[in-house]
Chain A
């Protein structure tokens, strides 16, 4: 499953059925301001709380061209209470929008693993939108280094 334009390769998502939204084309987005704008657009203006969503990413990328990350959201995933979607952003990329994952109660669990390209050291952000409209965010800094002088 290749995610066009984003160099993100979805490897699997447990039992989740998810689709990847096409992000906004073009280069209108760049940097922090656009990341904030994207979050606000996704949440409908609500400021995300912390908790419930966990973003796992390496502290230092082994290869900035393909950085593995995974997200999981605590949720009973019932008809009344489930994770609707998860937005993944890379704050420092020319186009911060990486992917939007959509879930349904049928997904069973809101978990996904993917890989992304990171142009430089930056924050990766994951925002979850619940079926009741509440939103949660997790953030992790991933360092992209030249490497080679450890030991």
Chain B
């Protein structure tokens, strides 16, 4: 048994910007060293400027378990390319030892056993320690950039409408952020919070919906160590489609690639040595964008929750994928001379919560913002015998639980649970607390509806979401996973075209095919439609857990993937 403070350490990727696309193996150089806080954070500095990136924290202030997906399919040109590589293939690609801390942090194999060995990851007090240390090393030559999905995803964030996260993040002193789930607090609250920020909230692609004029600051230029760095912000392009448009009726989004190209030109014309895109597009969208828009040095990607130990290089642009839920902090060192990036160093720092010392000041602040809710957060609802997690293209056990609760509590034939990529994991034997439940469903439109849908409507929904996930053109993807189903099964061919991916829809209750012309009782949650009625999803699940105090889930066999 490896003691928690003797992990193998993660190494540094370094390389020239013009390199072949991979930048040295993550683990090889330091493979035999023991892991310690120093070993995790020590990095031979490169160049004169450092970007620190953290994203998709989803309001996780405390260390969590977060299981990465075992299925993350890519279609078309990106099939088999990172981040569409999982499990053993991922370990092989990046030369990572099975069972190592890196394997635990980045993949899903043996998750339960490795989680018991290596412990929880993340925690904003640990993140604070990392950021303070880099700041101490690099002085003023550092930018801290937050990729968004920061203010939503926990009980306390929901109760305080994002205020807890704003307070905690302000203490880290970011230089800029962009957003996605932030917008689900609605126009007024977003404006209120954004105006309160002591740093820039950037969104090149957010427009006034009526007048088609920019609604947010698009770009901010910083001078660090004599280097001019232009940071362009890009919010999630499909916020008003994937989330309720009625909450932000005055804002229009979209990819608006031509705007980014314009800002890059403006930045260069204004003397920028480095151009950074702080993006919430999702990895595949950014990969395509990098191939089409010249002149971006670094894209700090987000949204699709990918963690990659090395940058992907496209058209001389470094694409950085920093994971989610506070599991990782990215450090990008840039060697900038003669108005251009000459080389870089990269480190995806895994935030092992048992290795990295919590920053005392931040720990106290986190305790303070949680204090009013502490008793409720800790209230135990049930225990689970099954590993609970959400990530995966087609299903996750936490959604199996939610679907089961919807079927039984709402007396439905079929349950639907959205394919969100946030939501933390619980190990077999763990208690399910109010905090854990809310980590899987905290949001501002939680009504669990019960309605009648025809078989055709159900097919249309599955096809629609399937195309959002598997459209071969990344610009048409919305970045979530497949909607989860309960009470029914189906087959899917991800490579087929829109309208013909889904087949063999079956109602489990009867074992019969779902007929287009027949009506079915369906219960689901997180509808984007205004005036959706029903109890909050957490109340539905809590009621079900009261009747099922020990959760044991069977393996989900509802989706058959025909490749």
A and B part of one assembly:
yes
Task: Please give the residue numbers on chain A whose beta carbons come within 8 Å of chain B beta carbons, in ascending order.
Answer: 11, 56, 58-60, 62-63, 68, 113, 121, 141, 143, 145-151
Do B480 and A56 touch across chains, with their CB atoms under 8 A apart?
Answer: no
Q: Choose from A58, A145, A147, A151 the contact partner of B254 (Cβ within 8 Å).
A: A58
Task: Say how far B446's CB is from chain A's closest CB, in angstroms.
Answer: 13
Assuming the contacts A59-B254, A62-B253, asked whether A146 and B242 have C-beta atoms less than 8 A apart, the reply is no
Do A148 and B212 touch across chains, with their CB atoms under 8 A apart?
Answer: no
Task: Say how far B438's CB is from chain A's closest CB, in angstroms.
Answer: 16
Q: Choose from A60, A63, A113, A148 the contact partner of B526 (Cβ within 8 Å).
A: A148
Task: Say how far B26's CB is from chain A's closest CB, in angstroms.
Answer: 29
B142-168 interface code vs A (CB 8 A; 1 in, 0 out): 000000000000000000000000000
Question: Is B478 on the interface with A (CB-CB < 8 A)?
Answer: yes
Interfacial chain B residues near A148, Cβ < 8 Å: 241-243, 418, 526-529
Task: Say how far A144's CB is from chain B's closest CB, in angstroms.
Answer: 10
Q: Choose from B209, B212, B468, B475 the contact partner of A149 (Cβ within 8 Å).
A: B468
Assuming the contacts A58-B254, A62-B245, A151-B422, asked whether A146 and B238 have C-beta atoms less than 8 A apart, the reply is no
Question: Is B181 on the interface with A (CB-CB < 8 A)?
Answer: yes
> CA of A68 to CA of B240 in the docked complex: distance in angstroms?
14
Question: Is B255 on the interface with A (CB-CB < 8 A)?
Answer: yes
Task: Say how far A125's CB is from chain B's closest CB, in angstroms.
Answer: 18
Interfacial chain A residues near B418, Cβ < 8 Å: 148-149, 151
Q: Choose from B181, B240, B252 the contact partner of A151 (Cβ within 8 Å).
A: B181
Do B254 and A113 touch across chains, with their CB atoms under 8 A apart?
Answer: no
Task: Say how far A142's CB is from chain B's closest CB, in angstroms.
Answer: 10
B421 nearest in chain A by CB position: A151
Majority secondary structure of chain B interface residues (helix, strand, loop or mixed)? loop
Do B478 and A150 touch across chains, with their CB atoms under 8 A apart?
Answer: yes
Assuming the contacts A148-B528, A149-B465, asked whether A121 and B480 have C-beta atoms less than 8 A apart, the reply is no
Do B241 and A62 touch across chains, with their CB atoms under 8 A apart?
Answer: yes
A146 nearest in chain B by CB position: B464
Assuming the contacts A146-B461, A147-B242, A148-B527, asked whether A121 and B422 have C-beta atoms less than 8 A apart, the reply is no
Do B476 and A150 touch across chains, with their CB atoms under 8 A apart?
Answer: no
Question: Is B323 on the interface with A (CB-CB < 8 A)?
Answer: no
Given contacts A62-B254, A148-B418, A149-B526, 15 further A-B contacts (CB under 8 A): A59-B254, A59-B255, A59-B473, A60-B254, A60-B478, A62-B240, A113-B212, A121-B498, A143-B471, A145-B464, A148-B528, A149-B242, A149-B483, A151-B418, A151-B480
B240-263 interface code vs A (CB 8 A; 1 in, 0 out): 111101000000111100100000
B479 nearest in chain A by CB position: A150
Assuming the contacts A59-B254, A113-B212, asked whether A147 and B476 have C-beta atoms less than 8 A apart, the reply is no
Assuming the contacts A150-B238, A151-B480, asked whether A11 and B258 have C-beta atoms less than 8 A apart, the reply is no
> CA of A139 to CA of B280 in the docked complex: distance in angstroms?
27
Among residues 285 to 337 in chain B, which have CB atoms less than 8 Å away from a CB atom of chain A? none
Do A59 and B242 touch across chains, with their CB atoms under 8 A apart?
Answer: no
A147 nearest in chain B by CB position: B241
Interfacial chain A residues near B181, Cβ < 8 Å: 151
Majority secondary structure of chain A interface residues (helix, strand, loop or mixed)? loop
Task: Say how far B258's CB is from chain A's closest CB, in angstroms.
Answer: 7
Question: Is B538 on the interface with A (CB-CB < 8 A)?
Answer: no
Do B242 and A151 touch across chains, with their CB atoms under 8 A apart?
Answer: yes
* Interface hub of A59, A141, A143 (most chain B Cβ within 10 A): A59
> CA of A121 to CA of B237 in the docked complex: distance in angstroms?
18
Assuming the contacts A11-B212, A148-B526, A151-B480, asked whether A63 and B245 have C-beta atoms less than 8 A apart, the reply is yes
Task: Say how far A132's CB is from chain B's closest CB, in angstroms.
Answer: 28
> CA of A81 to CA of B476 in the docked complex: distance in angstroms?
37
Q: Choose from A141, A143, A146, A151 the contact partner of B479 (Cβ within 8 Å).
A: A151
Interfacial chain B residues near A62, Cβ < 8 Å: 209, 240-241, 245, 252-254
Interfacial chain A residues near B237, Cβ < 8 Å: 59
Task: Say how far B93's CB is from chain A's closest CB, in angstroms.
Answer: 27
> CA of A59 to CA of B253 in the docked complex: distance in angstroms?
11
> CA of A62 to CA of B209 in the docked complex: distance in angstroms?
10
Instruction: Sample 23 A-B pairs with CB under 8 A, ordered by A number.
Output: A11-B212, A59-B237, A59-B255, A59-B473, A62-B241, A63-B245, A68-B212, A68-B252, A141-B476, A145-B468, A146-B460, A146-B461, A147-B464, A148-B243, A149-B465, A149-B480, A149-B526, A150-B241, A150-B419, A150-B480, A151-B243, A151-B421, A151-B480
Q: Choose from A56, A146, A150 the contact partner of B243 (Cβ within 8 Å).
A: A150
Interfacial chain B residues near A63, Cβ < 8 Å: 240, 245
Do A60 and B460 touch across chains, with their CB atoms under 8 A apart?
Answer: no
B483 nearest in chain A by CB position: A149
What 6 pairs across the A-B complex have the smallest Cβ distances? A150-B242, A150-B478, A148-B528, A150-B480, A147-B241, A149-B418
Task: Say how far B203's CB is from chain A's closest CB, in angstroms.
Answer: 15
Among residues 197 to 250 in chain B, which have CB atoms less than 8 Å away from a CB atom of chain A? 209, 212, 236-238, 240-243, 245
Do A147 and B528 touch across chains, with their CB atoms under 8 A apart?
Answer: yes
Do B476 and A60 touch across chains, with their CB atoms under 8 A apart?
Answer: yes
Do A150 and B254 touch across chains, with their CB atoms under 8 A apart?
Answer: no
> CA of A60 to CA of B527 in the docked complex: distance in angstroms?
19
> CA of A3 to CA of B528 in the docked complex: distance in angstroms?
30
> CA of A147 to CA of B236 in the docked complex: distance in angstroms?
14
Question: Is B352 on the interface with A (CB-CB < 8 A)?
Answer: no
Question: Is B180 on the interface with A (CB-CB < 8 A)?
Answer: yes
Interfacial chain A residues near B255, Cβ < 8 Å: 58-59
Q: Choose from B241, B258, B475, B529 the contact partner of A145 (Cβ within 8 Å).
A: B241
> CA of A115 to CA of B317 in the docked complex: distance in angstroms?
35
Interfacial chain A residues near B118, Cβ < 8 Å: none
B181-194 interface code vs A (CB 8 A; 1 in, 0 out): 10000000000000
